[in-house]
Amino acid sequence: MIEVLKCGAMTTVQDAGRVGYRHLGVVRAGAMDWLVCQQANLLLANAPDAAVLELTLGPLHLKFHQDSAIVLMGADFAARLQPADNVSTPAALSPGFIHVVPAGSILTMKRAALPGMRAFLAIAGGFDVPVVMGSRSTDTSAGFGGFQGRDLQKGDRLVVGSQNELIRNRSSGDSKTPGIRPLAPDSILRALPGPDYSAFTEQAQADFWDSAWRVSPNSNRMGTRLIGSKLSLLADLELASAGTLPGLVQVPPDGQPIILGYDAQTVGGYPRIACVIAADLWQLAYMPPGSTLYFQQVSLQEAHAAMHDQERKLSRLQDSLRNITW
């Protein structure tokens, strides 16, 4: 069991997300960068769908009441591990490596140590919360899934699934720990023109692709709100409400685009200027308010190729980890 000693806002249990229920108004939820979580699960010999913790800004302090192994991914939150004796110097934990955590240790993660936000904590065995509608992800708006349908609070006790034997047999003295260097976000989001693209002025179309967009402080898992050139329509556009998807870029009447996130509502009625390709959505996890991003137009073929490429890299990683002698 893992005990939460201290916890910043929006620290949630997440997995790949909930699919197949959008017609009921149920959002996908899920880790904002599931790619690195999949890598962490591979390192820990976990089931591919093992649930992780998603941290937004930290801090997070956890007490481990059992022997465990963890992998941290995403932004560097200056993680330290205080051994159970409470005397030894805390060890710094680098993201991307497996860290063995003996029972009694206390993990502390501060606010993000470097520019950026969101970190992910994967654990051997995965966080064991009930599977609801096919997923362990937290739906904070509808209040179900994850840990009691909400973000974590001080005093919560998290149950961990059973560890793979490979991990259980590793001793903490092992010096050879495999690791992964995660991709660095380049703040360029590849996107397809959306269904209402041609309803925007030529100026708006040009501005969308060519100008810099600043992330608004009002951004969250529901949407990344952007500040920049005002995007105008050629004429008023009354749209019937229609299904939405994460990555869709909507433009409300104020002309400032919103990239829909994994917790965004499933039906919407604002004009859709573009859709960020699935292979680039992970970058949104790491874009704090004030950071800058750009859109780059790609073709449908390029969008498919980008996803294919990402999957091939993951499967190669899986193959290479299989050959590691533990």
Q: Which residues bind other proteins (CB under 8 A)?
A: 19-20, 22-27, 132-133, 139, 141-144, 149, 192, 194-195, 238-245, 247-248, 265-268, 272, 275, 277-278, 300, 303-304, 307
Decide whether 3 or 196 has the Cβ nearer to other proteins: 196
Decide whether 93 or 248 has the Cβ nearer to other proteins: 248
Q: Find out whether 47 and 63 touch, Cβ atoms under 8 Å.
A: no
> Please, where are the H alpha helices in the chain?
34-43, 165-168, 202-210, 300-322
Tell me what percent of the chain is helix, strand and coil, each rounded to the nearest 5.
20, 30, 55
d(CA 32, CA 221): 8
What's the min distance (Å) between Cβ of 24 and other proteins? Answer: 5
What's the min distance (Å) between Cβ of 1 and other proteins? Answer: 25
Decide whether 61 or 272 has the Cβ nearer to other proteins: 272
Decide whether 227 or 245 has the Cβ nearer to other proteins: 245
Decide whether 163 or 250 has the Cβ nearer to other proteins: 250
d(CA 181, CA 56): 20
Decide whether 256 or 310 has the Cβ nearer to other proteins: 310
What's the min distance (Å) between Cβ of 5 and other proteins? Answer: 29
d(CA 247, CA 76): 25
**Which residues lie across from 259 on neighbouring strands?**
224, 249
Decide whether 27 or 152 has the Cβ nearer to other proteins: 27
Q: Find out whether 226 and 258 touch, Cβ atoms under 8 Å.
A: yes
The first and second tokens of residue 326, run together, are 């533990």
The sign one gets for the Cα dihedral 147, 145, 29, 122 is positive
**6-17 burial: b if 16+ Cβ within 10 Å, else e:** ebbebbbbbbbb
d(CA 293, CA 15): 26
What's the min distance (Å) between Cβ of 25 and other proteins? Answer: 4
Angle at 306 between CA 303 and CA 307, to 5 degrees: 90
What's the min distance (Å) between Cβ of 147 and other proteins? Answer: 14
Q: How large is the angle between the packed helices 34-43 and 300-322, nearest 10 degrees?
A: 20
Decide whether 173 or 253 has the Cβ nearer to other proteins: 253
